[in-house]
């Protein structure tokens, strides 16, 4: 079983919907680079095309999009953990049940997927993939209800975990968000009569759509020729929005969980400067994800912001590369220091997280080799001590450096002059957003949901 941590995009009510889905996925590429797919529907026909690689590689030929005819479409861009990056797991997943089609694209991770899968297999279900997303399709197919939307509501009564989903049926799109709302999902308007849903609002900007609102936690929103119909089939729960989306994952030009990512990320940097000031000449960020927090640090501290590292954009992000081999490639492939900026300087380096510590160590060596006199590492998040079971790919607890080392031990391992992490309270001090609406489990080790006993990553990957 795999963790899916991805981008989803749906559009309803416009000709050439697949072309818009392509651009939407293009804007969501940072949420997954391993594979992508689009399913389009209209006039009783459903067409699908999927492939391994990045969106522009898969849909390199516009004829492919032209063949995906219809006035509504669903797209997905995917990243998965090691072990099962196979063609069969590429989303959207599409089934036919009693001559009716159902496709699904998922961002998130179920926390009771093993138990559900075993139960379904015992009662005769045959799984085509190793993805937990397929569970929704089996549960929906087994429900005795007539409409897909009611079948999906039934499935929600048994699944647990993080899911922002978009389904495509023969006549509608159905957007769904789990009751805790771990992953973002937004609704927008395109032209006068079309609607779009996407993991992040940057996918609206690229096609000129207008953000209307978030899909609410626990909401099931059906979009069809009848317009929008919303349901809340489950009791309300305390929300658990993933704070890591703000820290690292979402694009700074997106609006998620009711606030602009840029604004929150900059505030994280400002708070970091208050908690961990440094006597230094310049502040640099690890590009690109730490750039915004670095600006916040510079604004608050008055230390000059400089571009000290250049990132090669043609290499995937270290944190989300599927293969360990790729993760171990020298950081030199990805970053090059600007010697003229760093030489003989006392440098504050801002990054958004330290996972295993191996990449950070190499980056420190790289900056040192460019002549930096002192390195003061600042992290715009608290130490990650526990894995994520809600859709962000992280290594096992043992591999997380902060699960077993103190800050001082990490400082010595990284060979930096000082090291400061943002505190949990500091991270949550966002005046516009209520603190207790966030999941901070990877920093606190306390989870808002029961994690099934077998949910350790290695067991999951061996399924």
Active site residues: 6
Q: Which is nearer to ligand SF4, 12 or 246 (CB)?
A: 246
Q: Which is nearer to ligand SF4, 209 or 242 (CB)?
A: 242
* Three-class DSSP category at 212: strand
**Alpha carbon distance 394, 460 (integer Å):** 13
If binding is defined by CB under 6 A, does position 390 make contact with ligand SF4?
yes
Q: Which is nearer to ligand SF4, 278 or 388 (CB)?
A: 388
If binding is defined by CB under 6 A, does position 392 make contact with ligand SF4?
yes
Burial of 408 (0-12, 13-18, 19+ CB in 10 A): exposed
CB of 451 to ligand SF4, least distance (A): 10
Which segment (186-194, 348-356, 404-412, 434-442) binds ligand SF4 by CB under 6 A?
A: 434-442
Does 27 sit behind a cis peptide bond, omega within 30 degrees of 0 on the bond before it? no
Tokens 């992280």 correspond to what residue?
A: 394
Tokens 């949910």 correspond to what residue?
A: 455
Token couple for 53? 């690689």
Q: CB-based contacts of 359: which residues, under 8 Å, 6+ apart? A: 318, 319, 327, 331
Do the beta carbons of residue 159 and residue 112 sit within 8 Å? yes
Q: Which is nearer to ligand SF4, 214 or 222 (CB)?
A: 214
Question: What length does the chain have?
Answer: 463
If binding is defined by CB under 6 A, does position 439 make contact with ligand SF4?
yes
Tokens 């669903």 correspond to what residue?
A: 74
Which segment (142-150, 165-173, 218-226, 386-394) binds ligand SF4 by CB under 6 A?
A: 386-394
Q: Which is nearer to ligand SF4, 12 or 244 (CB)?
A: 244
Q: Kindly identify the residues of this chain, within the stretch 168-187, that bind ligand SF4 according to CB under 6 A.
A: 182
Tell which phi-psi region holds residue 306, choosing left (phi > 0), alpha (psi between -120 and 50) or beta. beta
CB of 244 to ligand SF4, least distance (A): 4
If binding is defined by CB under 6 A, does position 199 make contact with ligand SF4?
no
**Alpha carbon distance 127, 121 (integer Å):** 8
Give the residue closest to ligand SF4 by C-beta. Answer: 388
Rounded to the nearest angstrom, the gap between the alpha carbon of residue 283 and the centroid of all alpha carbons in its chain is: 27
CB of 93 to ligand SF4, least distance (A): 23
CB of 355 to ligand SF4, least distance (A): 11
Per-residue x/- marks for ligand SF4, 233-252, CB under 6 A?
A: ---------xxx--------
Give the end-to-end CA distance of the chain in Å, rounded to a whole number.
5
If binding is defined by CB under 6 A, does position 111 make contact with ligand SF4?
no
Which segment (12-20, 331-339, 368-376, 436-444) binds ligand SF4 by CB under 6 A?
A: 436-444
If binding is defined by CB under 6 A, does position 264 make contact with ligand SF4?
no
If binding is defined by CB under 6 A, does position 440 make contact with ligand SF4?
yes
Q: Which is nearer to ligand SF4, 163 or 182 (CB)?
A: 182
If binding is defined by CB under 6 A, does position 460 make contact with ligand SF4?
no
Q: Find, among 214, 202, 255, the residue nearest to 27 by Cα.
A: 202
Q: Which is nearer to ligand SF4, 7 or 13 (CB)?
A: 7
Q: Find, among 284, 316, 276, 318, the residue nearest to 303 by Cα.
A: 284
CB of 390 to ligand SF4, least distance (A): 4
Which segment (223-231, 279-287, 320-328, 384-392) binds ligand SF4 by CB under 6 A?
A: 384-392
If binding is defined by CB under 6 A, does position 449 make contact with ligand SF4?
no
DSSP state letter for 369: H
- Count of residues engaged in binding ligand SF4, rule: CB under 6 A: 11
If binding is defined by CB under 6 A, does position 441 make contact with ligand SF4?
yes
Instruction: Mark 229-267 as b/e (b = at least 16 C-beta within 10 Å).
Output: eebebeeeeebbbbbbbbbbbbbbebbbbeebbbebbbb
Interface ranges with ligand SF4 (CB under 6 A): 182, 242-244, 388, 390, 392, 439-442
């Amino acid at each position: 079983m795999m963790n899916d941590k991805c981008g989803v995009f749906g559009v309803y009510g416009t000709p050439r919907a697949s072309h818009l889905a392509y651009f939407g996925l293009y804007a969501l590429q940072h949420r997954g680079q391993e594979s992508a797919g689009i399913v389009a529907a209209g006039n009783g026909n459903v067409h699908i095309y999927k492939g391994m690689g990045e969106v522009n590689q898969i849909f390199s030929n516009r004829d492919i999009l032209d063949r995906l005819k219809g006035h509504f479409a669903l797209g997905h861009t995917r990243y998965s953990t090691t072990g099962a990056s196979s063609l069969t797991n590429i989303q959207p997943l599409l089934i036919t049940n009693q001559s009716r089609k159902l496709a699904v694209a998922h961002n998130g991770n179920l926390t009771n997927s093993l138990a559900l899968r075993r139960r379904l297999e015992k009662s005769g279900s045959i799984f085509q993939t190793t993805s937990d997303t397929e569970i929704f399709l089996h549960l929906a197919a087994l429900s005795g209800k007539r409409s897909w939307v009611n079948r999906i509501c039934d499935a929600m009564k048994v699944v647990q975990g993080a899911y922002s989903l978009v389904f495509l049926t023969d006549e509608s799109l159905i957007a769904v968000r789990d009751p805790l709302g771990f992953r973002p999902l937004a609704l927008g308007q395109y032209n006068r009569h079309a609607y779009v849903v996407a993991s992040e609002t940057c996918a609206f900007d690229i096609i000129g759509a207008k953000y209307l609102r978030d899909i609410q936690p626990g909401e099931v929103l059906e979009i069809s020729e009848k317009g929008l119909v919303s349901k809340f089939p489950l009791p309300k729960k305390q929300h658990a929005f993933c704070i890591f989306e703000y820290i690292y994952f979402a694009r700074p030009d997106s609006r998620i969980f009711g606030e602009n990512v840029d604004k929150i990320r900059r505030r994280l940097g400002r708070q970091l400067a208050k908690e961990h000031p440094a006597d230094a000449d310049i502040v640099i960020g690890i590009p690109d994800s730490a750039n915004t927090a670095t600006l916040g640090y510079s604004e608050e501290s008055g230390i000059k912001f400089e571009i000290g590292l250049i990132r090669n954009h043609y290499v995937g992000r270290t944190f989300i590369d599927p293969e360990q081999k790729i993760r171990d490639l020298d950081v030199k492939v990805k970053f090059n220091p600007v010697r003229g900026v760093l030489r003989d300087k006392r440098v504050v380096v801002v990054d958004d997280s330290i996972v295993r510590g191996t990449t950070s160590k190499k980056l420190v060596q790289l900056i040192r080799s460019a002549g930096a006199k002192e390195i003061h590492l600042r992290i715009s998040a608290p130490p990650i001590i526990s894995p994520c079971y809600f859709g962000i790919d992280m290594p096992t607890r043992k591999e997380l450096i902060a699960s077993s080392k103190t800050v001082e031990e990490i400082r010595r391992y990284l060979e930096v002059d000082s090291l400061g992490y943002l505190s949990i309270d500091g991270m949550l001090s966002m005046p516009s957003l209520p603190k207790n609406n966030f999941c901070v489990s990877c920093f606190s080790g306390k989870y808002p949901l029961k994690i099934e006993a077998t949910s350790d990553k290695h067991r999951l990957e061996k399924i």
